[in-house]
Structure 1
Amino acid sequence: MNLKEWRQLWFDGPEKEYLWRKYNDNRKVYFAAYYKDNDTILSNIERGMETFVRWEKKLLNIDLETQARKERRLSAGRVAMKAFVEALATNTMTVEADFVILSIDFEGDIKYGVKEFGFAKLDTRDVIGNALTPSPEMITGHNYALSDERMHGFMFGKTSKTDEVELATVIRDVLHVPDEQSNEYSTSTERRLVLVGHALQNELRILDGNGVDVANLHTVLGTMDTCNSFGRGTTLKNLLASLHVPLPLNRYSKVVSLHNAGNDAHYTLRALLALLHERSQHEHSAAGQIEILHDLAMAPLPVWPPVRDPRVRQAQEDDEEGFLNMAVLHD
Structure 2
Amino acid sequence: MTRRPAPGSYQAWRKCWIGGPKAVRRALRKSYKNNFAVCRIVRMMPYQQAGDISLQEFAAAFGSNPSSPDTDIVLLAMDFEGTTIHKGINEVGLASISSAAARSYSSSLPTRASNFALKNHRRRKFMHGNTTRITNEMLPGTILSEVSSLAHDPSGRPIKIILVAHGIMNEVRNLDSLGLYIEDLPIAGVVDTTKLFPAVLGARCGSLWHLLDMLSIPMGQTSLHCAGNDAHYTLQAVLALLDLQFRDGCGVLGEIARRAAPRPPSWNKEEVVDYLEFPLDFPEDVAWEESEGSHSGQH
Q: CA-to-partner distance for each residue in 1:8-35, whole Å, 9 max, x for gaps? A: xxxxxxxxxxxxxxxxxxxxxxxxxxxx
Q: How high is the TM-score relative to the length of structure 1?
A: 0.66
Match of 2:70 among 87, 95, 103: 95
**2:187: which partner in 1?**
220
**1:105: which partner in 2?**
79
**Cα 1:187/1:155, change in 2 over 3 Å:** closer
Residues of 2 paired with 1:247 and 1:57: CA distance? 43
**1:266: which partner in 2?**
232
**Deviation, structure 1 residue 277:** 0.6
Residues of 2 paired with 1:280 and 1:259: CA distance? 30
In the alignment, does 2:89 pair up with 1:117?
A: no
Q: Equivalences for 1:79-90 in 2 at 5 Å?
A: 79-89=53-63, 90=65
Q: CA RMSD in A?
A: 3.1
Structure 1 alignment gaps of length 5 or more? 1-53, 250-255, 326-331
**1:276: which partner in 2?**
242
Q: Which secondary structure does the structure 2 equivalent of 1:114 belong to?
A: coil
In the alignment, does 2:131 pair up with 1:159?
A: yes
Q: CA-to-partner distance for each residue in 1:125-180, whole Å, 9 max, x for gaps? A: 1112x2x52532x1111111113241751111110111211111111111112524
Query: Identity, % of aligned pairs?
Result: 30
**Cα 1:257/1:306, change in 2 over 3 Å:** closer
**2:154: which partner in 1?**
181
Q: Which of 1 and 2 has greater Rg? A: 1
Q: Which has the higher helix share?
A: 1
Residues of 2 paired with 1:149 and 1:242: CA distance? 30
In the alignment, does 2:101 pair up with 1:135?
A: no
**Cα 1:116/1:261, change in 2 over 3 Å:** same
Q: Which amino acid in the other structure matches residue 258 of structure 2?
A: M
**1:150: which partner in 2?**
122
**2:251: which partner in 1?**
291
In the alignment, does 2:210 pair up with 1:229?
A: no
**Equivalent pair of 2:123/2:226 in contact (CA under 8 Å):** no
In the alignment, does 2:223 pair up with 1:257?
A: yes
Structure 2 alignment gaps of length 5 or more? 1-25, 199-203, 273-286
Q: How high is the TM-score relative to the length of structure 2?
A: 0.73
Q: Which secondary structure does the structure 2 equivalent of 1:220 belong to?
A: coil
**2:175: which partner in 1?**
207
Residues of 1 paired with 2:61 and 2:183: CA distance? 27
Q: Which amino acid in the other structure matches residue 106 of structure 1?
A: F
Q: Which secondary structure does the structure 1 equivalent of 2:144 belong to?
A: helix
**2:46: which partner in 1?**
72
Q: Which amino acid in the other structure matches residue 256 of structure 2?
A: L
Q: Which amino acid in the other structure matches residue 292 of structure 1?
A: V
Q: Which secondary structure does the structure 1 equivalent of 2:82 belong to?
A: strand
**Deviation, structure 1 residue 310:** 12
Q: CA-to-partner distance for each residue in 1:177-216, whole Å, 9 max, x for gaps? A: 252433xxx733xx32100000010011110111111023
Q: How many pairs does the alignment contain? A: 247
